């Protein structure tokens, strides 16, 4: 898909979708295809969401250009967070794609969760912790 076609398709909004109502959100940063906000229910301080402007429910439905735009904002947010908070020593990046994966807002969004030494007694396994019995290996 060409950039112009992708850009035009981002105007598709879903009525009642909290991530489509961008005028009601405190946007931290944005580019042509996506934007970032702080998570309303943060796991840690500065927990950020990167959200495509086009209403699309799942990560695997994103266009390549949207993935690149998301990646740019992830990098930007990571630099901003580490500049704001020197206690941040790592990050988890996660996507819940589908209700069975825990997605509650059916508009794709990527979590950037800052981590700090000692914020979890045993962080080994990281995102594997979504299924607790599989975290430690």
**Residue 10: partners with Cβ closer than 8 Å, 6 or more residues away:** 32, 33, 52, 53, 54
Please report the pLDDT score of residue 100 as a whole number: 95
Higher pLDDT, residue 103 or 24: 103
Please report the pLDDT score of residue 76 as a whole number: 98
**Bridge partners of 49?**
37, 111
Whether 23 shows a pLDDT value over 90: the answer reads no
Residue tagged active-site, from 10, 46, 55, 109: 109
- Cβ atoms 108, 57 nearer than 8 A: yes
Please report the pLDDT score of residue 11 as a whole number: 59
User: CATH fold of 3-60+68-119, please?
Assistant: HIT family, subunit A (3.30.428)
* Catalytic residue flag (residue 55): no
Whether 8 shows a pLDDT value over 70: the answer reads no
Please report the pLDDT score of residue 14 as a whole number: 78
Mean pLDDT of 112-137: 89
Phi and psi torsions of 36, nearest 5°: -125, 150
Which range, of 13-27, 33-47, 73-87, averages the lowest pLDDT?
13-27
Please report the pLDDT score of residue 2 as a whole number: 55
**What percentage of the chain reaches a pLDDT higher than 70?**
91
Higher pLDDT, residue 10 or 82: 82
**What percentage of the chain reaches a pLDDT higher than 90?**
73
């Amino acid at each position: 898909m060409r950039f112009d076609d992708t850009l035009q398709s981002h105007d598709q909004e879903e009525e009642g979708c909290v991530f489509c109502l961008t005028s009601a959100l405190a946007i931290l940063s944005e580019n042509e295809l996506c934007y970032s906000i702080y998570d309303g229910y943060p796991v840690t301080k500065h927990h950020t969401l990167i959200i495509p402007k086009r209403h699309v429910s799942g990560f695997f439905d994103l266009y390549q250009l949207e993935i690149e735009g998301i990646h740019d904002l992830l990098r930007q947010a990571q630099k901003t967070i580490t500049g704001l908070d020197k206690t941040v020593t790592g990050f988890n990046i996660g996507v819940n794609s589908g209700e069975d994966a825990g997605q509650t807002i059916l508009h794709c969004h990527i979590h950037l969760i800052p981590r700090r030494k000692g914020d979890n007694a045993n962080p080994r396994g990281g995102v594997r912790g979504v299924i607790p019995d599989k975290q430690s290996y």
